[in-house]
Structures are given as structure tokens and as C-alpha cells.
Amino acid sequence: MDVIVEDVTKVWPGRHDDDVIALDKFSYRFASGRFSCLLGPSGCGKSTLVQIVGGLERATSGTVRIVDTQQAGTPRPLGADSVMVWQNLNLFPWRSVINNVAFGLEMQGVPKGQRHHRAKALIASVGLRGFEHHLPGQLSGGMRQRVALARALILERPILLMDEPFGALDAQTKIVMQEELLRIFDETRKTILFVTHAIEEAILLGDEVIVMTARPGRIKEIIKVDLPRPRSLEMVNSKAFGELFDRAFHLIREEVMRSMAQQARALEEQQ
């Protein structure tokens, strides 16, 4: 499934007439089976973009089309083929691990026995066997992240939308989760849109890094990452990785400086 974004603009209405343009005529074709990382300073509209792709926010103008490449380009309804993994996870705190993971199937009306059977298998595959009946509040951050991943994967949607999913994890847990995600990508070859503000993470995971400008969000540059798969963390020390990092770093540095200048100006105007 390709995700075709055309001229998508998103304007958040302000209280007075200070509307915020989060995305400005963003166009890109996210190719099927590719791992695309969206990298940009905070507030550049990258989260908004994936939510629009997932059908959870409406674009102010422009279109997003999900196209099945195998079926002669038939357009599909937004949200039907994708599932989101959120930065703050959004696990249901009153549901046990198994009932969180099985939530999507429950909404489809899959009988309890069947959905629990599938949820158990997924829970085991993310290394949480034995924690089926724990509540999210009883788990560590990394374990909760695995639950969120399993809850998304159970629906077997071809497109995975990830909004800074590892942003809140500590450094060690983050590494383990990145390896886990690489393994899942190699096994399933889903189309992944991965939002991050961590340069290293974007290069380690992605086939391409889409560097975005500070608000309003546009594409600044696209960096192709031609590191071989399966990827591993050791590649971080390679020369190729270092060169990609430097390139992305200089691009993002400009944008972060611009973003900070914007924020400073906005503060001055308030005073």
C-alpha cells in the first residue's frame, strides 16, 4: 500500500487571528514496504501528518490517498489500512495486557476465545508471556511500550504509523525496542511512517529520512539510507552511518535554530 500525500495543509485556528500553520502543502509518496522516518524540530507538524494519514485528524486542504499497488490503484478509506502507535502509548489503564492487546479485535466482534488466543500469541512474540493479566500500571515503561506495539500489530494492517513511540523511554530500553521494531519490520515488511526527533534513531531504522522544516512543516530534504538490512546497532559506528548523521545533523540544526528564533519572537510579541 502506498500512502500518497498531496498538498496537505493543516491550520490550527488560534484564539485571536494568530492561526498556526502546522503543515504547508506537504506532498510525498510513501512507498509500500518502506520504512520512512520523519525527522524535524518539535512543532513542525510531523505528528499532525501521521494523524491525518491515519484518518484521526482532518487536513485543512489537500488529500491523502491510500492506494493498493497490487489492485490497480484502487483508493481505500483512510484509517482502514493503518494503525497508530502513540508517543504516550494511550493504553487503557483499566484493561489487562491481554484485553488491551485484543481491543481492536473486540471492536470487530471477534469472539473472546479467538481474540484471546491471538492476543496471547502476540504478547508472547513481544516477550511478555506471563504478564497477560497485569494492568498497564503494573508494568515498566519498556513493557508498556511492547503492549502498545502488540495492540497495533494484532490488527495486521499493512501500514504502521508511529508517533515518537520511543521518545519517553530510557536509553537502554530504547535500544532494545529499536531492535525489536527492526526485527518486526524485517519479518512483516509493513509500510512504516515513523516520527522522531532523534537523528540517530531515524538513520538506524529508516530506508529514508524525510527532514522537515520548522513551522510551517515542509520537506527540507530527503536522505536515502542505504545501510544494508538486517540492521544492527553496531552500524552506528560505521563510516557510512557517520556521514549520514552529519548530513542530517546540519540540516536539522538549521531548522532547530529557526524554530527557536520563532519561539523567541512569539514570546516577545506576547510581552
Partner 1 sequence: MTARNADTSGLLERLLPSIVIAVFILGWELLVRWRGIAPIFLPSPSSIAEYLMRMIVDGSLGLNLGATLVRIFVGFGLAAVAGVTLGILMGMSRIVARVANPWIAALYPLPKVALIPLLVIWLGTGEAYKIVISAVTAFFPIVISSYAGIRQADRGLIKAAKDLGANRRQVQLKVVIPAAIPSIFAGLHLGMGVTIILVVAAEMIGGAGHLGMGNLLITAGQVMETEKVFASLVVLAVVGAVVIKSQQWIDRKVAPWMTVRDEY
Binding of residue 56 to partner 1 (CB under 8 A): yes
Give me the least distance between CB of 106 and partner 1, in Å please: 8
Binding of residue 140 to partner 1 (CB under 8 A): yes
Q: 519517553: which residue's cell?
A: 168
Please, which residue, 1 or 209, has the CB nearer to partner 1? 1
Binding of residue 43 to partner 1 (CB under 8 A): no
| Helix or strand run (H / E) with residue 36 | strand 35-39
CA–CA gap between residue 265 and residue 118 (Å, rounded)? 52
The closest alpha carbon to 227, from 219, 238, 216, 211, belongs to 238
Binding of residue 126 to partner 1 (CB under 8 A): no
Binding of residue 79 to partner 1 (CB under 8 A): yes
How does DSSP classify residue 217?
B
Give me the least distance between CB of 265 and partner 1, in Å please: 29
Q: Are 22 and 48 in contact (CB under 8 A)?
A: yes
Site string for partner 1, 146-165 (x = CB under 8 A): -----x---x----------
Binding of residue 83 to partner 1 (CB under 8 A): yes
CA–CA gap between residue 207 and residue 153 (Å, rounded)? 20
In angstroms, the Cα distances linking 60 to 8, 49, 213, 259 are: 7, 11, 19, 22
φ/ψ bin of 262: left (φ > 0), alpha (ψ from -120 to 50), beta (otherwise): alpha
Give me the least distance between CB of 203 and partner 1, in Å please: 28
Site string for partner 1, 87-106 (x = CB under 8 A): -x-x-xxx--------xx-x
Binding of residue 249 to partner 1 (CB under 8 A): no
* Interface contacts to partner 1, rule CB under 8 A: 51, 54-56, 79, 83-84, 86, 88, 90, 92-94, 103-104, 106-108, 135-138, 140-141, 151, 155
